[in-house]
Amino acid sequence: MINLFDNQQINQAKAACTFALPLTFNGLTIRVLADHPAILDHLEVYYAGLTASGLLPKEVHTLDQPELPVWLLDQQADTSGREWTAVTRAKTSALGLKEAYVDTPQGRWIHKVRTGMVLFQSLTAPVAIGELNKHSSQVINFINNQFLNHHQRDGYLLGHASAFDIDGNVTAIAASSGGGKSTLMLKALETAEARFLSNDRILFKPDNDQASVIGVAKHPRVNPGTLINSPRLSDILPTDERDRFTGMHKSQLWNIEQKYDVLIPNAYGEGKTALSGTLKHLILLDWALDATAPTALSRVDITQTPEALEGLRKSPGPFFQHADGHFPTEQAQSAKVYAEHLASVEVLRLTGAIDFERAIALLQAKGIL
């Protein structure tokens, strides 16, 4: 068991990380170092369709861009001996505390209380400790956090949105959690030219009278309602669960929180992912299950109503670290700042009843799909 606050133990454990995997992201190469190869095998498969790594020959792992090492230690961590500060959430969970942290002169330890994973956030030497293969999704999130930090330090805003790309032109879909943004994005991918850019997070900033947007390398994790209503994706559900969810009332199915991974290349084929593009459209989901009005698409003037962007706003979270090493108080930028970053983007709103087929038809009529 590793003592998190004993630098000698940490350094010895890092020295035993003899297995390596380079991951070439958009603007940052992350060199993942591990003490066991199994987690790297998983990461290589997972990221193959989501990063430039999957497009480069294996012996070519770096471009002319910054490189950051990340260490993965498949060991248990001793979290005793220090007082941990709870990470407060806007919504409380019946499952209890999710995260707590301890700051040190070198960085910040973050304890994932429910899984036991412990993650060290630092500018130059991030470390993940725990049952890596069992909690691979948290390993992926931690790696992606380094990518998010890199671009947020460069002026990009973090947005809570899914996104798809057509010929370099990107449409983002924003909503609060459970609002349908993943489902609508996956429906859009049925269009031959559409490519997956991101499931839940985007990075964007103004660039020469346009808005540059970067996707986050994570496959969609969706609830059963998204899968059961898609002929392409329903087989992801085990047979017994598919039988259980089939015929379930829409409102009941909508509220089930049980995540499944949709690996884009497996589900949609090769060539269906994009890394970045120009943000042209933002769709705000302001619809409801119990609405009686038909689904409608209308334009939003965010210069007059920046508060309409509330579903897009996203705090950088406890992992975000400024270039000088300090960790800011968790707070998203104001809606006004988001509106300023979106000055060149057409913002639309879907209202009325939740109807994905109708929404796709409206986007097609608008020329977005």
Per residue in 16-66, pLDDT (tens digit) is: 999 999 999 999 999 999 999 999 999 999 998 898 765 555 555 556 789
Q: What is the pTM of this model?
A: 0.92
Question: In the prediction, which pLDDT does 231 show?
Answer: 92
Residue 291's CATH number: 3.90.228.20
Residues 190 and 131 in one domain: no
Q: Are 270 and 322 within one domain?
A: yes
Question: Are residues 209 and 351 both part of a single domain?
Answer: yes
Beta bridge partner(s), residue 30: 23, 68
- Angle, helices 181-188 vs 356-365, to 10°: value is 60
Q: Are 229 and 181 in contact (CB under 8 A)?
A: no
User: Is 164 in the same domain as 275?
Assistant: yes
* Long-range CB contact pairs, 189-192, < 8 A, 24+: 189/164, 189/264, 189/268, 189/272, 190/232, 190/360, 191/166, 191/369
In this predicted structure, what is the pLDDT of residue 330? 76
Q: Is 242 among the domain residues? A: no
User: Do 170 and 197 meet the contact criterion of CB atoms below 8 Å apart?
Assistant: yes
> Are residues 175 and 272 both part of a single domain?
yes
Note the Cα 298 to chain centre separation in Å.
27
Taking 50 as the pLDDT cut, the residues of the chain under it are: none
Q: Residue 225: inside a domain, yes or no?
A: no
The one-letter code for the residue type at 90 is A
232 CB-contact burial (10 Å; exposed 0-12 / middle 13-18 / buried 19+) = middle
- Cα angle 53, 59, 62 (rounded to 5 degrees) comes to 55
Do residue 192 and residue 280 come from a single domain? yes
Boundaries of domain holding 20 = 2-152
In a domain, 243, yes or no: no
Do residues 32 and 86 both lie within one domain? yes
Per-residue pLDDT at 54: 58
Instruction: Examine the domain organization and report whether 350 and 206 are in the same domain.
Output: yes
Task: Write out the DSSP string of 154-220.
Answer: TTPEEE-EEEEEETTEEEEEE-STTSSHHHHHHHHTTSTT-EEEESS-EEEEEETTEEEEEE-S---
Q: Is 326 helix (H, G, I), strand (E, B) or coil?
A: coil
Helices 136-152 and 38-47: angle between axes, nearest 10 degrees: 60
pLDDT at 329: 86
